[in-house]
Structure 1
C-alpha cells in the first residue's frame, strides 16, 4: 500500500462486514460528556455508548485504574485467578443479594451463563423435563443464538436456522400472560426491570412481585437482566433494589466497565454450585484489566452522592423535555428512571425516532433510539447540569428541525 491510509467512513464500507450502518462522523476524543470528531466538531453525549459510559469519557478514576493495571498484569486465563477479579467479586457480593460471581466479557455472555445455569440447576435439582425458559415480547438479552432466541424480537433471531427450543414468550407487565405459560416445566423466567431495546418500558411493582411469587410457586428461577439498568443507571446500584424483590440470578455489563468490555452473572451459593468445574468458561472472563476498571467504576458509582445525583439529573431531563414538548407537541410521555429515559413519540410522529436521532447529530448531540417510536437517552451518571442544559438546547433545535420540516 502506498501513501498514507485515509481513515474515514468510506474505509468502513471497504473493510468491515456490513451489519452496522454507522454515522458519517468518526469520533476521536472524549472528555466527560463531550466528544470530538476528526474535524474537531464537538458533541454533547446523551447516548453514553448505549448506556455503557457510566462515568463519561476518560474519567480520571478509570484512566488511573487501567494504566496502573496495564503496567502490572494483563491476562492469565482462568487456570489462575487474579487480585482485581477477586476484589471486584467481593465488592459486588457485598453490595447485592449475591454470594457468588461469574465474570464474562459482555451482557450477552452473562445472560448465556445465566440461562445455562438455570437449565443445569433444573436438570440436577429436578429433571430433564424442567427446561422451559419464559421471556417477554420486545425483550432483548443479547446476540448469541441462545440469548437472541430468549429475547422477544423475532426480527433479530429469524433467518439463522433452527432455534434453541423450550423458550416461551409472555407479555411484559401482563401477569395473566405469565400464568398462562408457567408450569412445573419452567426452569426460569427472565425479565428486564426496564425493557431497553423494547422502548424503555419499566416493569410495574405488581408485575415484578407477581412474577417472583409465580417463580416461587412453580420452583423456577427469577433471572433479572440488568445489563442496561445496572450499576447506578436508575439511581440505585441495581434496579431490583427499587422493587423490594430479589432475583435468583442477576446479569450485569454495560455500565459495569464504563466502556471497558466486562460482564458478570451474580447468584447465590446454592444455585452457583450447579456450574461445577468444566461446565462453563470464558478465556477472557475475569481479565485483570477489565476487573480493575470495573472495580473503579463500582467504587465511584456506589456512593450516595452519585446515586442521588442520578435522580436529580433525571428531574432536570424531564423538566427540559416537558418545556420542549410544550412548544412542539411531539411526545406522548417520558418513560424510564434515572439516566435511562425514553421520550415516546405521539401519534403524529410515530415511527420517526430515527429522524430525531439524525437531527440531533446535525445539532451536535449524540442521542439514541429504542425502536421506531422512542428517542432514548442514556448519558453519563455524573453528567453536569451545564452539559444537560447545553445538550437539551441542541435537542430542542433537533426537535424544531423535525417538527417544523
Structure 2
C-alpha cells in the first residue's frame, strides 16, 4: 500500500482525504480509493463544537445547542464542570500514568468509595464499557471453574441488548447487523426475549454459567426490565447456581436517579459493568464484583495497561464527589419525573409526531410516529442535540446536572420541532391534493 499526501477533492472541503493505492493479494491488479484519515465507522453529523458549559455546547461561530445526548450518556457533569476540570488538571500536572505494577492511591480511593456505596466487594478498572463487559464474561466463566464447573461457559443474554463492539460483545448482543462480515459469531451466548422468564428458564442447560442483561435497554429504545423479571433473575440464578451479571454501562453512575439502576428493583447482582458517566467524559470503565467473583481472578488472569491510571481515577473521584453529595441523586430522580411529565404532555399535544414516552431518571425515549431521523434532524435545527435508538425512538440523555429550566427549554424545542414537522406534512399533503386535482382537470 502506498500512502500519498492528503489531496482535496470537490466534496471534501480540503479536509484530510488520503489517496490510497491498494494491492489486493486475492485479486490481480489494484484500485485507487478515496478515504478519510478517520475510518468511516461513524456517520458523523457535519457539526463541530468549540466549547461547552453546563448542559450546552457551542460552535466556533457562536451557535448554542442544548445537549440532551451528553456524548451518549457520558458527560454526567455536563461541560466545563469546575470540579472535574480542576481535578484532571491538577492530577495531570503531577502524574498521569505509572502502570498497575505499582500501587495507585487514586484507584484505591475510587474503588473504596464504589464498594462502600454498592453491593460490591472489589473493583477492576478498565477503559470502556465493552472492555468491562468482556472482563465480566471472563469472570463469570472463571467463577464457575472455581466452583468445579469448567463446563459451565455459556451466558444467557436478551434480544435487543447492546453490550459493545468487540467480537465477543457483538455475539453477546446478537444483532445480525452488527455480526455481518465478521465471520462466525464467538461461541458461548444464548438469547431469549427480554422480560420473558419462561423463555429464560427454558434456555438454561448444564453448560449455562450466568445471565447478563441491562436493567434498561438503551440502544433498543429505552426498555425497562419488569420488576418481576428482575427479581426472578436473582431467584433463577440462586436456584441453578448461575452468576447474575448486569450491564450498567449506560444506566449506572446516577443516570436513573440511583447510583445503579438495579437498586430500583431491590435486586443484588454478583457482578456489574459500568462506564460512560463514571468519569464525566474521561475514558474509563469498571467491573464491580462480589467477593466470590473477584477472588476467582488471581494475578495474571486479567489485566489492563491504562485501566485505573491516576488521571482517570482523579476524574472518577471528582464525579463521585458530585454524585454522592447529599440530595444529588434525589434531585436527578425528581428532575426525571418532571421531564417525564413534560414529555407525556408533548406526546398528547403532538400525536402525529410522537407515540409515547418511556424512561426513568434522566434516561428517556420518545417513540416517534414519523421517521426518527427526520425528527432528530428537525430538533437539531432548532438547537437540541439528541440520540436515536431502535424502534424509531429519540433518546434524551441530558447531563445529570441539567437544570429544570434546561428540561423545560428542551421540551419547548421538541414542541416547536413537532409543529414544524406537522406543517411540512400538511404542505406535502396539500401539494399532492393539488397535483391530483390538476391532473384530473
TM-score, with length taken from structure 2: 0.87
Which residue does the alignment assign to 1:333? 356
- Deviation (angstroms), 1:398: 1.9
Instruction: Name the CA distance, whole Å, in 2 between partners of 1:321 and 1:224.
Output: 28
Matched, 1:114 2:174: no
Gapped runs of 5+ residues in structure 1?
A: none
- Deviation (angstroms), 1:298: 1.1
- Deviation (angstroms), 1:10: 4.5
Which residue does the alignment assign to 1:45? 67
Q: 1:270 to 1:8 in 2, by over 3 A?
A: farther
Matched, 1:288 2:307: no
Instruction: Name the CA distance, whole Å, in 2 between partners of 1:96 and 1:9.
Output: 51
Instruction: Name the CA distance, whole Å, in 2 between partners of 1:214 and 1:403.
Output: 48
Q: 1:151 to 1:297 in 2, by over 3 A?
A: same
- Deviation (angstroms), 1:39: 2.1
- Deviation (angstroms), 1:151: 1.1
Which residue does the alignment assign to 1:97? 119
Aligned counterpart in structure 2 of residue 64 of structure 1, from 82, 86, 105: 86
Which residue does the alignment assign to 1:376? 395
Matched, 1:344 2:367: yes
Q: 1:54 to 1:287 in 2, by over 3 A?
A: same
Instruction: Name the CA distance, whole Å, in 1 between partners of 2:13 and 2:384.
Output: 20
- Deviation (angstroms), 1:172: 0.5
- Deviation (angstroms), 1:8: 7.3
Task: Tell me if structure 2 keeps the 8 A contact 1:234–1:340.
Answer: yes
Which residue does the alignment assign to 1:128? 150
Task: Tell me if structure 2 keeps the 8 A contact 1:45–1:379.
Answer: yes
Q: After superposition, where does 1:121-200 map in structure 2 within 5 Å?
A: 121-200=143-222
The CA RMSD measured in Å over matched residues stands at 1.7
Q: 1:367 to 1:182 in 2, by over 3 A?
A: same
Task: Tell me if structure 1 keeps the 8 A contact 2:252–2:259.
Answer: yes
Describe the superposition over 1:52-99 as per-residue Cα deviations: whole angstroms up to 9, x where unpaired. 111100111101110111111100111112111010000000000000
- Deviation (angstroms), 1:303: 2.7
Matched, 1:365 2:384: yes
Name which structure has the greater RCO, CA cutoff 8 Å, separation 6+: 1
Task: Tell me if structure 1 keeps the 8 A contact 2:347–2:356.
Answer: no
Q: 1:396 to 1:275 in 2, by over 3 A?
A: same
Say how many residue pairs are matched: 397
Task: Tell me if structure 2 keeps the 8 A contact 1:9–1:24.
Answer: no
Q: 1:219 to 1:369 in 2, by over 3 A?
A: same
Instruction: Name the CA distance, whole Å, in 2 between partners of 1:391 and 1:335.
Output: 16
Q: Which has the larger radius of gyration?
A: 2
